[in-house]
Amino acid sequence: MRYITVEGLSFQYDAEPVLDNIHYHLDSGEFVTLTGENGAAKSTLIKATLGILKPKKGTVTISETNKDGKKLRMAYLPQQIASFNAGFPSTVYEFVKSGRYPCKGWFRRL
């Protein structure tokens, strides 16, 4: 099952193009690694794919359901959490633990 389809994605900061005509897709069961040098636009690609940044052109289609027909859930963890929400101090353990609540419920021991 196809979860993400990106076609012709282009993005620029002000007048500086950083992504140009990107095409890719992600299917169920795939493990993907995105590598590259600093400044290669890896974070920009992820943010544009997730709709955090608005592409200059192109389309991004994200499935609403997973392969089992349940609602597809995704998460994004920014590289620097302070840039996301400086008023949210937490340890890695607390952060990961908070993401387990939908699986176990709020009042069950993790």
Question: Could you state, in order of their start, the residue ranges of all structural domains in the chain?
Answer: 2-69, 77-110
10 Å Cβ neighbour count for 7? 14
Token pair for residue 50? 């997730």
pLDDT in tens, 36-84: 999 899 999 999 999 999 999 999 999 999 999 999 888 777 766 555 5
Distances (CA, A) of 36 to 2, 42, 43, 69, 78: 25, 7, 10, 34, 17
* Amino acid residing at 52: I
The CATH number of domain 2-69, selected from 3.40.1390.10, 3.40.1400.10, 3.30.70.1020, 3.40.50.300: 3.40.50.300
Cα Rg of the chain, angstroms: 17
pLDDT in tens, 72-110: 888 777 766 555 555 666 777 877 777 776 666 656 666
Burial letters 95-106, b for 16+ CB under 10 A, else e? eeeeeeeeeeee
